[in-house]
Structure 1
Amino acid sequence: MSGWHPHTSGGISYLERPGNGAVLVLLHGIGSQAASFTPLLPHLPADLRVIAWNAPGYAASTPLAEDWPVAADYARALDGFLDRVAPGTPVMLLGHSLGALMGASFAAARRDRVSHLTLASPALGHGMARGGALSAAAQTRLDDLERQGAEAFAAARAARLVYRPEDNPGVVDLVRSTMAQVKLPGYGQAARMLASGRLLDDAEQLTVPTDVIVGAEDQVTPPEGARRAHAALRRPLRGKLTLLPEAGHAIYQQAPAGFAAALELTPEPATP
């Protein structure tokens, strides 16, 4: 599969491209999975070890125990996962959309395990109280999936993630094909986490070098949200804010070369 090797560890399925260099860990968004990063792979340094997990409840990964998990629950799952697949090794961490909430929560708690963090098309979260009423956006996601089924759900949503979808049918098809594989209860857990997410709170606590990347034409997590996330970072560790032109929310699928060029792939020494 385009250089990927599939594996499972501790109930988490993942894809790995082996390498002898630094480790880059990729966290996908709510309507995606590990394989969505395939277009990015050829644009990354050949010696980089690349690991893309399927979040709990996605693909063959076991769902979390909590019906309404928060970002910290996914961060704990990531902590155990990294202890198994990259023990003792500080990693470069990249979270896209909902994955940015997971990555920021993990990096805030485990600074020693992260040499660099990238928040790509970051979802800020809706800030709702855990266990209460869902935000309207999260509830609509669940209602649509249950009513339409995964295939129709993906067909209805995919084009919105792509800039000028009428001119990029191949990218739309990539997005649709991965989104069509979402399922319950994993997607429901992720939607509830999104509803209670507070990325800006975690961003203020980060003590790792952090960059932010967003598509200039992103309609799902618009550039204004990325600017807010970037501004919340502590100034000494605040890295680049990159707006990729002619790219939507599916940024690493629509503009993989530009996305790869914007990444900081020289890990800095981790400190406790």
Structure 2
Amino acid sequence: MYVTRQTSRSEFVAIRQLNYHVRLWGPETAALPPLVLVHGWMDVAASYQFVVDAFGEDFLRSRRIIAPDWRGFGLTAPPVPTDHYFFPDYLADLDQLLDHYAPGTPVDLVGHSMGGNVAMFYAGVRPARIRRLVNLEGFGMPANKPAKAPGRYAQWMDELKALRRGEMALNTYDSAAGVAQRLMKTNPRLSQDKADWLARHWARPNALGQWEILGDAAHKIINAQLFRLDEVLALYEAISAPTLAVEAADDSLGQWWKGRYSLDEYHQRLTHVRDCRIAVVPDAGHMLHHDQPQAVAALIEQFVGDS
């Protein structure tokens, strides 16, 4: 199994009626701004362990690294009862987490996938809170036309009923090894040792001995509201922090959307961010922080270290 170089600490913080689980690395206090790492959909904070292990010793000595499990993921139990999740809640959760861990101090913020989208939105809403911003494959969604709204609301309501009937439950696995195999099937670049390590943070056994994913099935419910590109671009234009948009060479965006949304469109959106550069990680897919943690760590370390 993968052997970690840097040991994390685990704590719970009262945030918005939730016991938020937060993983921390590095010193309790440090002279340089905190580095905040936020994960993607159906992932957990521990997913950043490989990147943290790849940071240089000098960087680690000078930084407090903070990585929360989003609500309903990992060890942050979902609000009870709940049957869906509202995207702006992630912004409010992050806002209060930063109030707790970095009051009055701008942070360096890194987000992957869904977490990258949260990070971009938050940096537009609270530009003074972010010193440097790194977006790892947080592409956003295809633009939608308002005429799709009636169908979207109907789909949302239908999925709520399907969830209640138990039709949207997450798969369970006979063992941690089964979870590891699932992770490797999704990401063929993931090595066996990393998959075995991740499996025990990504899932846990239930009372019957079946391994359950640490993600609430309600996260599978579609967003009731359409993705509104005009609002997104307004948020991008409000970002004041220097921004690094990191992509995997595999073009996962194109693979997902199959012509409905392209990297060229995403790059056009990024022109609305006043100070944005793009980096590409070779030999990597969407889970680039697993595929090439050394390359991702080097990009982060160099970018947030720029004066």
Segments of 5+ residues of structure 2 without an aligned counterpart are 157-161, 205-211
Residue 305 (structure 2) aligns with: 266
Counterpart pick for 1:180 among 180, 197, 203: 203
- Contact 1:71-1:105 within 8 A present in 2 as well: no
Deviation at 1:84, TM superposition (A): 1.0
TM-score normalised to structure 2 length? 0.70
Deviation at 1:188, TM superposition (A): 3.4
For 1:238 and 1:178, how far apart are their aligned partners in 2?
36
> Are residues 1:17 and 2:28 paired?
no
For 1:230 and 1:220, how far apart are their aligned partners in 2?
12
Counterpart pick for 1:41 among 52, 58, 63: 52
SS of equivalent to 2:216: helix
For 1:141 and 1:221, how far apart are their aligned partners in 2?
29
For 1:49 and 1:174, how far apart are their aligned partners in 2?
23
For 2:189 and 2:306, how far apart are their aligned partners in 1?
35
Counterpart pick for 2:69 among 54, 69, 78: 54
- Contact 1:212-1:226 within 8 A present in 2 as well: no
For 2:222 and 2:95, how far apart are their aligned partners in 1?
17
Instruction: Give, as a single letter, the amino acid of the residue that structure 1 aligns with 2:37.
Output: L
Segments of 5+ residues of structure 1 without an aligned counterpart are 135-139
Residue 233 (structure 1) aligns with: 270
Deviation at 1:176, TM superposition (A): 4.4
Deviation at 1:70, TM superposition (A): 3.0
Residue 148 (structure 1) aligns with: 171
Instruction: Give, as a single letter, the amino acid of the residue that structure 2 aligns with 1:265.
Output: V
Residue 79 (structure 1) aligns with: 95
Deviation at 1:133, TM superposition (A): 1.1
CA pair 9-220 structure 1, distance change in 2 beyond 3 A = same
Deviation at 1:163, TM superposition (A): 4.9
TM-score normalised to structure 1 length? 0.78
Residue 208 (structure 2) aligns with: none
Number of matched residues?
A: 263
Rg larger in 1 or in 2?
2
Deviation at 1:161, TM superposition (A): 4.4
For 1:64 and 1:225, how far apart are their aligned partners in 2?
35
For 1:161 and 1:216, how far apart are their aligned partners in 2?
17
Identical counterparts, % of pairs: 23
Residue 249 (structure 2) aligns with: 216
Residue 32 (structure 1) aligns with: 43
Deviation at 1:42, TM superposition (A): 2.5
For 2:216 and 2:232, how far apart are their aligned partners in 1?
22
> Are residues 1:190 and 2:194 paired?
no
CA pair 18-105 structure 1, distance change in 2 beyond 3 A = same
CA pair 231-220 structure 1, distance change in 2 beyond 3 A = closer
**5 Å matches for 1:102-117?**
102-117=118-133
CA pair 158-122 structure 1, distance change in 2 beyond 3 A = same
Which moves more between the two structures, 258-267 or 193-202?
193-202
Instruction: Give, as a single letter, the amino acid of the residue that structure 1 aligns with 2:249.
Output: A
Instruction: Give, as a single letter, the amino acid of the residue that structure 1 aligns with 2:90.
Output: Y
